[in-house]
C-alpha cells in the first residue's frame, strides 16, 4: 500500500444560518494516496466542491467555514495554518484546476508569463531557467508550437488549449496533489476526452495524486482509481473504481448508476408512411459582426450551410453536435427566433421562414420550445399559472379556462396543481424544467423544439425529465426536435439522429443504424469520445 498524501479526518464545513442544511460537508473522512486518482462524485449540492475548497482554504468566509475535523497534509493540519503558510502550499504543494479555464487565466497576460509567474513566486530559478521550464511544461501538455503558445493571450486559444495551459500551471511546481474541480464540464465531448487522457498521462508520469471532482459517472469510469460518492455532505460509498462502478453497494449509488443514460439506441417505432411535419430545405444562416461605427473588418460565421432535413409526424429527431456546430442556430431559425438568409422552412406544408414577427404569430401555437436553462427560462416575477397560461390566453382562451388547463398540465408533468399560485424560485431545477415543458404543451403544439433541455440538470433528474418528455410525446402525439451535445441522451430519446459539424449535417439516419455503423469520421470520433463508453456498454439494458 502506497503512502497517504492527504488525510481528511471528520471534516465539517458549516453553512450560513439561512441555508436549508447545517453543514455543506458533515463529517467526511477520506484518504488520498500517492499516484492515485480519487474521484468524488455527487450531484449538485452534495458538498463535493466545498470539500475541495476547504482543502485549499478557499471557502467563501465568513459565511461558510470549516468548523471541525482535520486535513492532514505532509504532517501539518491545513485547517490550522496561517494565511502565509497556506499561500506557500497553494500552487506549490497542492495545485488546483478549475472548471472554467477562461476565468482561471488572466485575460491581459500572455500565457507564458502566467506560467512563469508561478515559478517566479515559488522558486529561485533564473529567468533563462524559467523560460526553459515553461517551454518544457507546454510541451508536456501537448500544446502545438510551444514558442508561439507562450506569446499568446488566453482569448487566442480554444477552450481545450486554455485548459491545457491551466494544467501546465498546475504542474509547474511538481505538486504532491492536484485538485481538479469539474475540469472538463465546460468543454466539448471530444476535447473532454483529450483532456481526461492528458490528466491521466501526466498523473502517471509525475506520480502526482489527483482529487477529481465530477458529477459524471462516465468521466469517473474513464479516469478513477478509487471513487467516493457524496450526498448531502456525507460519503455514502467509497472503494476501488471497478467495485463501485461494477457492483455498487449503497442504494443511492445504485440509483445514480441506473440513471446514467445508456448507449442502447432507440428503435424506429413509426410507420414508414406517416407524412412529413417539418421540412427544412437548403437553409443558410450567416452571422456578420462589423467592428464599430466605421465598418472596418467584418467577421463572418457560417452557422448553417445548405441544411436540409425533414421530420415526420409523431417522430423525434436529435441534432447532435459540439458547441459552434450551428445546432442551436438551426433550432432558433425553426422556432422563428432568428431569421434565415435563404432557404425554406415549412410546417405542415406552410412556409414559416421569411415572415415577420407579426406574420409569424398565427403559427406560434404549432411550434413550441423547451429551453436549456431552467433558471433563466421562467420569469421570476410571474406566478407559474400566469407563465403557463400566457400562450393560450394570447390565442384567445379566457383566463379562468387557461389557468384551469395549467393546473391539469402541472399534474401531467408530475407537479401539484396548486403550484399555479407560486413563484419560480420556490422550485428546484428539475421542477422548473417540468414547468417549462408544461408551458410548451399549453398551446397544444404539433412540434416541440427542445434545446439541451437536460444539460443543466443532475443525472438522476435528467433521467426523470427525459422519461417525462418521452411519455408526453406519445400521449400528445407530438413531434420533437431535440438538440443535444450528448450522444447518450440522443440515443435514449430519439429514433433518428442528425450529426452536425461546422454548420453542416455530416451524417443522418436512424439511431440504431448510426450506432451500429457510424460512417462519417466525425461521428466515429464523437462515439470514441463518450466518457466511460466501455463501462456504459457493460451496464446492459436499463
Partner 1 sequence: MKTFWSRFLGNPRVYLGLIWLGLLLAVAIAANVLAPTDPFAIVGKPMAAPGGEFWLGTDSLGRNVLAGLIHGSRATLLIAVLATLFAVAFGTFIGAVAGYHGGLIDNVLMRFTEFFQTIPSFLFAIVLIAVLSPSALNLVVAIATVSWPPIARVVRGEVLTVKSREFVQAAVVAGQGDAAILIKQVLPNTLSPLIVTGSLLIATAILVESALSFLGLGAPNLMSWGFMIGAGRSFMREAWWLVTVPGVAILLTVLAINLVGEGLNDALNPRLADL
Least Å distance, CB 352 to partner 1, is 12
Those residues whose C-beta lies under 8 Å from the C-beta of residue 454, and which sit 6 or more positions away, are 433, 461, 462, 465, 466, 484, 489
Least Å distance, CB 374 to partner 1, is 9
8-state DSSP, 90: B
Output 265 or 436, the one with its CB closest to partner 1: 436
Least Å distance, CB 369 to partner 1, is 5
Least Å distance, CB 361 to partner 1, is 5
Output 368 or 501, the one with its CB closest to partner 1: 368
Of 1, 18, 108, 534, which lies in the binding site for partner 1, with binding defined by CB under 8 A? 18
Output 316 or 372, the one with its CB closest to partner 1: 372
Cα 484-432-237 angle, rounded to 5 deg: 75
Query: Could you give the CA distance from residue 324 to residue 329 in angstroms, rounded to a whole number?
Result: 9
Output 18 or 294, the one with its CB closest to partner 1: 18
Q: How many residues bind partner 1 (CB under 8 A)?
A: 31
Pairing of strands 276-290, 342-347: antiparallel
Q: Could you say whether residue 361 binds partner 1 (CB under 8 A)? A: yes
Query: Could you give the CA distance from residue 487 to residue 511 in angstroms, rounded to a whole number?
Result: 10
Q: Which residues pair with 449 in a beta bridge?
A: 369, 481
Query: Could you give the CA distance from residue 432 to residue 259 in angstroms, rounded to a whole number?
Result: 19
Output 153 or 363, the one with its CB closest to partner 1: 363
Nearest residue to 8 via CA among 98, 88, 78, 97: 78
Output 9 or 373, the one with its CB closest to partner 1: 373
Segment contacting partner 1 by CB under 8 A, of 192-200, 299-307, 331-339, 504-512: 331-339
8-state DSSP, 420: G
Output 114 or 368, the one with its CB closest to partner 1: 368
Output 194 or 382, the one with its CB closest to partner 1: 382
Least Å distance, CB 334 to partner 1, is 11
Output 86 or 390, the one with its CB closest to partner 1: 390
Beta strands in 348-489 (DSSP E): 350-351, 367-370, 447-451, 479-484
Segment contacting partner 1 by CB under 8 A, of 135-143, 333-341, 398-406, 413-421: 333-341
Cβ neighbour number for residue 436 with a 10 Å cutoff: 26
Segment contacting partner 1 by CB under 8 A, of 85-93, 122-130, 319-327, 357-365: 357-365
Segment contacting partner 1 by CB under 8 A, of 44-52, 356-364, 462-470, 504-512: 356-364
| Residues in contact with partner 1, shown as a per-residue x/- string from 363 to 402 under the rule CB under 8 A | -xx-xxx-xxx--xxxxxxx----x--xx--xx-------
Least Å distance, CB 364 to partner 1, is 4
Least Å distance, CB 415 to partner 1, is 18
Output 18 or 475, the one with its CB closest to partner 1: 18
For the segment 155-194, give every residue that binds partner 1 (CB under 8 A). Answer: none
Those residues whose C-beta lies under 8 Å from the C-beta of residue 266, and which sit 6 or more positions away, are 491, 492, 493, 494, 495, 511, 512
Q: Could you say whether residue 204 binds partner 1 (CB under 8 A)? A: no
8-state DSSP, 338: S
Q: Are 103 and 165 in contact (CB under 8 A)?
A: no
The x, y and z cell numbers of residue 394, run together, are 394570447
Least Å distance, CB 400 to partner 1, is 19
| Residues in contact with partner 1, shown as a per-residue x/- string from 334 to 353 under the rule CB under 8 A | -xxx----------------
Please give the backbone phi and psi of residue 215, each rounded to the nearest 5 degrees, phi first. -110, -5
Nearest residue to 241 via CA among 506, 38, 63: 38
DSSP annotation string for 356-384: -HHHHGGGGGGEEEE-S-TTTSS-TTS-H
For the segment 405-444, give every residue that binds partner 1 (CB under 8 A). Answer: 436, 439, 443
Least Å distance, CB 435 to partner 1, is 11
Q: Which residues pair with 510 in a beta bridge?
A: 496
Query: Left (φ > 0), alpha (ψ -120 to 50) or beta: where does 67 sit?
Result: alpha
Query: Residue 404: in which H helix or E strand, if any?
Result: helix 399-412
Output 205 or 376, the one with its CB closest to partner 1: 376
Print burial letters for 216-228: b (CB count within 10 Å at least 16), e (below 16).
bbbbbbbbbbbbb
| Residues in contact with partner 1, shown as a per-residue x/- string from 30 to 69 under the rule CB under 8 A | ---------------------------------x------
Output 258 or 337, the one with its CB closest to partner 1: 337
Nearest residue to 222 via CA among 538, 539, 474, 535: 535
Query: Could you give the CA distance from residue 430 to residue 443 in angstroms, rounded to a whole number?
Result: 22
Query: Could you give the CA distance from residue 168 to residue 142 in angstroms, rounded to a whole number?
Result: 10
Segment contacting partner 1 by CB under 8 A, of 86-94, 339-347, 354-362, 459-467: 354-362
Least Å distance, CB 394 to partner 1, is 5
For the segment 83-142, give every residue that binds partner 1 (CB under 8 A). Answer: none
Q: Are 202 and 208 in contact (CB under 8 A)?
A: yes
Least Å distance, CB 215 to partner 1, is 22
Q: Could you say whether residue 355 binds partner 1 (CB under 8 A)? A: no
Binding site for partner 1 (CB under 8 A): 18, 63, 335-337, 357, 360-361, 364-365, 367-369, 371-373, 376-382, 387, 390-391, 394-395, 436, 439, 443
Amino acid at each position: 500500500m502506497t503512502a497517504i498524501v492527504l488525510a481528511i479526518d471528520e471534516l465539517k464545513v458549516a453553512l450560513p444560518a439561512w441555508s436549508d442544511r447545517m453543514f455543506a460537508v458533515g463529517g467526511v473522512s477520506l484518504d488520498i494516496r500517492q499516484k492515485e486518482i480519487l474521484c468524488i462524485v455527487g450531484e449538485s449540492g452534495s458538498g463535493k466542491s466545498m470539500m475541495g475548497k476547504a482543502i485549499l482554504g478557499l471557502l467563501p468566509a465568513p459565511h461558510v467555514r470549516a468548523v471541525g475535523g482535520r486535513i492532514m497534509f505532509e504532517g501539518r493540519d491545513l485547517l490550522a495554518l496561517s494565511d502565509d503558510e497556506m499561500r506557500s502550499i497553494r500552487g506549490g504543494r497542492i495545485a488546483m484546476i478549475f472548471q472554467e479555464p477562461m476565468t482561471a487565466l488572466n485575460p491581459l497576460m500572455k500565457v507564458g508569463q502566467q506560467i512563469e509567474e508561478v515559478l517566479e513566486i515559488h522558486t529561485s530559478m533564473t529567468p533563462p531557467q524559467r523560460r526553459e521550464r515553461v517551454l518544457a511544461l507546454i510541451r508536456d501538455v501537448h500544446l502545438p508550437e510551444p514558442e508561439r503558445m507562450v506569446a499568446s493571450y488566453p482569448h487566442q486559444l480554444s477552450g481545450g488549449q486554455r485548459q491545457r495551459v491551466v494544467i501546465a500551471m498546475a504542474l509547474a511546481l511538481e505538486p504532491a496533489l492536484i485538485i481538479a474541480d469539474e475540469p472538463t464540464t465546460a468543454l466539448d465531448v471530444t476535447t473532454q476526452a483529450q483532456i481526461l487522457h492528458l490528466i491521466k498521462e501526466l498523473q502517471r508520469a509525475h506520480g502526482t495524486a489527483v482529487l477529481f471532482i465530477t458529477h459524471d459517472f462516465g468521466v469517473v469510469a474513464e479516469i478513477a482509481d478509487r471513487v467516493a460518492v457524496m450526498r448531502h455532505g456525507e460519503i455514502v460509498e467509497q472503494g476501488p473504481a471497478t467495485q463501485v462502478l461494477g457492483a455498487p453497494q449503497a442504494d443511492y449509488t445504485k440509483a445514480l448508476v441506473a440513471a446514467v443514460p445508456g448507449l442502447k439506441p432507440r428503435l424506429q417505432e413509426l410507420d414508414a408512411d406517416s407524412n412529413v411535419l417539418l421540412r427544412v430545405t437548403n437553409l443558410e444562416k450567416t452571422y456578420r459582426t462589423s467592428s464599430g461605427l466605421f465598418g472596418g473588418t467584418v467577421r463572418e460565421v457560417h452557422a448553417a450551410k445548405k441544411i436540409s432535413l425533414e421530420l415526420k409526424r409523431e417522430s423525434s429527431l436529435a441534432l447532435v453536435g459540439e458547441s459552434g456546430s450551428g445546432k442551436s442556430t438551426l433550432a432558433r431559425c425553426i422556432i422563428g427566433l432568428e431569421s434565415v438568409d435563404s432557404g425554406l422552412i415549412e410546417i405542415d406544408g406552410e412556409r414559416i421562414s421569411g415572415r415577420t414577427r407579426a406574420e409569424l404569430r398565427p403559427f406560434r401555437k404549432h411550434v413550441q420550445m423547451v429551453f436549456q436553462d431552467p433558471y433563466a427560462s421562467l420569469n421570476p416575477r410571474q406566478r407559474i399559472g400566469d407563465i403557463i397560461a400566457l400562450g393560450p390566453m394570447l390565442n384567445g382562451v379566457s383566463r379562468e379556462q387557461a389557468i384551469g388547463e395549467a393546473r391539469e398540465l402541472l399534474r401531467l408533468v408530475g407537479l401539484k396543481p396548486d403550484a399555479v399560485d407560486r413563484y419560480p424560485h420556490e422550485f428546484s431545477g428539475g421542477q422548473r424544467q417540468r414547468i417549462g415543458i408544461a408551458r410548451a404543451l399549453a398551446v397544444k403544439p404539433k412540434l416541440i423544439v427542445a434545446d439541451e433541455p437536460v444539460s443543466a440538470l443532475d443525472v438522476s433528474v435528467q433521467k426523470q425529465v427525459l422519461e417525462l418528455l418521452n411519455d408526453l410525446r406519445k400521449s400528445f402525439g407530438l413531434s420533437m426536435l431535440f438538440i443535444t451535445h450528448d450522444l447518450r441522451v440522443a440515443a435514449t430519446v430519439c429514433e433518428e439522429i442528425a450529426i452536425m459539424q461546422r454548420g453542416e449535417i455530416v451524417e443522418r439516419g436512424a439511431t440504431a443504424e448510426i450506432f451500429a455503423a457510424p460512417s462519417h469520421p466525425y461521428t466515429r470520433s464523437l462515439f470514441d469520445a463518450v466518457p466511460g463508453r466501455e463501462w456504459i456498454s457493460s451496464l446492459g439494458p436499463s
